[in-house]
Structure formats: structure tokens, C-alpha cells
Amino acid sequence: MPSPKSTRENRVGGSASTSNGRFEFISMANSRTPLSDPAAARLRASESPVRRRDSSSSQQMLPEEDCMKLNPSFLGIAFRSLLAIDLWLSKKLGVCAEEHCSWGSARPVMKLIEISGHGIPWIAGALYCLYKSDSLAGQEVVLNLLFALILDLALVGLVKGLVKRRRPVHNRMDMFATFSVDRYSFPSGHATRAAMVCRFILNHLVLAIPVRVLLVLWAVIVGFSRVLLGRHNVTDVAFGFLMGYMQYSLVDYFWLSPSKIPTLFSLWSQ
């Protein structure tokens, strides 16, 4: 039987003997720190593998989030810069938005140009020409012009409803014959219509060179007047010109001829 002194020495050295003569090793931490100590329990819990794994994963995620905030994408920076330039330039060019603006006296003239590019006068004029036309070739051209105008209204309304970009803050809503979708700004319906009608007439009507130049000038003035009146931003008009130019290609692809719809042409020719 071991003496009490040897047993005590074995416990201090980190081992203890059992009654059958075998030794058991006891943790030095357990021997030094009582189990009832709350601070020691918290320390051991903080050193657990699960806690260390969670802390290491959080340390790995924080730098990535910081990088996303501090290093935005190049496309995001370019888009925000373009938007800021667009808004600033549109505000500077809106010199006819109000009567007290620098070009406020030219506002009535700009509103006349606005009406000249409106869809209702063009559709009414196309219907009148279709009714008065007595030649099959003339009816074909006017009918496709009417189809192009209706297509323009549908596509512009669709894009405006999808994008839902508000009109400039300096715009005054006193436009001629507006609809619910006209509270949106992108794209400019006047610009799309002017570009499409200009390309349509240049391709299907025989005009003198001065008249052709005036037609192109009218289309440019209609689009530019939208910015001067404060109705649209610059990008609205630029995209409108591009969209109207492409719309004519769509009309030309689906060109309505007497061979495709003979019943309708025979009805109008009677």
C-alpha cells in the first residue's frame, strides 16, 4: 500500500495510482482550476472547436464584405456617373421649362413643335390620306405608315411601362393629349416617332433635296425640343432616336402589301 506522501507526490506530478497498482493521468488544467469556477468554464467554452470554427469563418467573411462596399464594380461606377451627367446636362438644357427661364419666351414655339411630333395628329392625318387616296400604291404606303404609327405607340408604351423612369423634376405637365403611361420619361415617344417617320418618308416618297433636308431638320428639332421643354432627359431622346430608327426596319420587314391582305385593299379601293 503506497504511503500518503507518495500518493500526494504522484498527484502533483500529473499521475495517480489506483488500488490495483495501475496509474491514471490527470489533466494539469483540471487539477489547477476548480470545476466550479465560472470564468474557467467560459474560457473552456470559448476554446471549443465549434467556437473557434465560427470565429474563423466570421473573420474570413468580414474582409470580403468590406471589399464589396469599398470596391464597387466598374460598371456600377460608370452607370452612376453617366446618370449624374445625364441629369445635370438635362437640367442645364431645360431653358424653356418655365416662362421665367432664360429661353422662356420661346416656350410657345417649342410647344407647337411638340404638337407637330405628337401621335394623334399623325394618326389622324394618315387616316385622312388613306380615305382620300385613289391609287393602290398610295394606299399601300399610307396604310403602312398608319401601321408604323400604331406600332410606335405600342412599343413606346411597353418600354415606358417596363422602365418607369420619372420625368425630370423641372418638367411642367402641361403636355397635349397625354395618357397614363406618359408620366414616364424613357424613351421619348416624340423622338421615336420623328426618327421613324423621317426614315419612312425618305424611303417611300420622292422629295426634292431641300425638302429632305427640312424633314431631317424637323426630326432633330422635335427631339431637341423635348430636352429644352424639360420633358425628357438627354438619354431619353438619344435612345428614342435609336429606337425609332430601328422601328422602321421592323415595319419594312412586315410590310403590308396587296398580296398579303387583298381584302382590305379592295375595300379601300371601292
Q: Return the amino acid letter for 266.
A: S
**How confident is the model at residue 261, as a pLDDT?**
65
Q: Residue 248: what pLDDT? A: 94
Decide if 98 is inside a domain.
no
From 31, 29, 4, select the one nearest 17 (Cα to Cα). Answer: 4
C-alpha cell of 115? 404638337
Angle between helices 107-116 and 209-228 (to 10 degrees): 120
**How many structural domains does the chain have?**
2
**Active-site annotation, residues:** 190, 232
Give the model's pLDDT for residue 18: 46
Q: Confirm whether 41 is domain-assigned.
A: yes
Task: Render each residue's pLDDT in the chain as its tens digit; 270 residues.
Answer: 455 445 444 444 444 444 444 444 444 444 444 444 555 555 455 555 545 554 444 444 445 444 445 556 878 888 888 889 988 998 888 888 888 888 888 888 999 999 999 999 999 999 999 888 888 888 889 999 999 999 999 999 999 999 999 998 888 877 777 777 788 889 999 999 999 999 999 999 889 999 999 999 999 999 999 999 999 999 999 999 999 999 999 999 988 887 766 666 565 555
pLDDT of residue 41: 53
- The reply to whether 75 falls in a domain is no
CA-wise closest residue to 121 among 173, 174, 160, 177: 177
Q: Which domain holds residue 28?
A: 4-55
Q: Which of the listed residues 39, 55, 71 is the one where a domain comes to its end?
A: 55
The reported pLDDT for the residue numbered 121 is: 92
Q: Of 14, 38, 55, which residue sits at a domain end?
A: 55
pLDDT at position 74 is 77
pLDDT (0 to 100) of residue 49: 52
**CB-based contacts of 13, cutoff 8 Å, min separation 6:** none
Residue at 159: amino acid letter: V
15-17 and 23-25 beta bridge pairing: antiparallel
Residue 83 falls within a domain, yes or no? no
Is residue 161 within a helix (H) or strand (E), and if so which, with residue range? helix 136-163
126 near 149, Cβ under 8 Å?
A: yes
Based on the fold, state whether residues 50 and 133 are members of the same structural domain. no
- The reply to whether 244 falls in a domain is yes
The phi, psi pair for 254, rounded to 5°, reads: -100, 40
Are 132 and 243 part of one and the same domain?
A: yes
| pLDDT at res. 269 | 55
C-alpha cell at 86: 445625364
Query: Based on the domain organization, do 138 and 260 belong to the same domain?
Result: yes
The verdict on 209 and 116 lying in the same domain is yes
What is the model's pLDDT at position 40? 54
